[in-house]
Amino acid sequence: MEFGQGYVFNCNRQRYEEAAQHLLDALVLQDSDGIRDPQSHNHQMNDAHGVTSDALWNALKTTCLHMQRIELASLCDMRDLDGMFTQFRYRVLFH
């Protein structure tokens, strides 16, 4: 996947904000697509949001920790996409 290549490329160069952006973009895409969770027992979709990948959330949390952004890592633990998007966009645009 294209976002995976961008993430690895940026992490290898310690460009963590750009790497986080790739992961956040992927999570937003998953959420907006209403992807069914293959691990779910009932295979139902949430009408309000799609299912997002634990692997992406964990990678995003690790990236946030590399950026020394504990508050963003906490949002990853809560799987708070709206909060993460708001906080990350604000930081990137106004840092």
* Structure confidence by residue, pLDDT tens digits, 25-77: 888 888 887 654 555 444 444 445 567 889 999 999 999 999 999 999 999 99
Q: Is the pLDDT of residue 22 over 80?
A: yes
pLDDT of the residue at 94: 41
Burial of 1 from C-beta contacts in 10 A (0-12 / 13-18 / 19+):
exposed
Residue 50: which residues within 8 A CB-CB, separation 6 or more?
30, 31, 32, 33, 34, 35
- Threshold 0.85, pTM exceeds: no
pLDDT of the residue at 3: 53
pLDDT of the residue at 83: 92
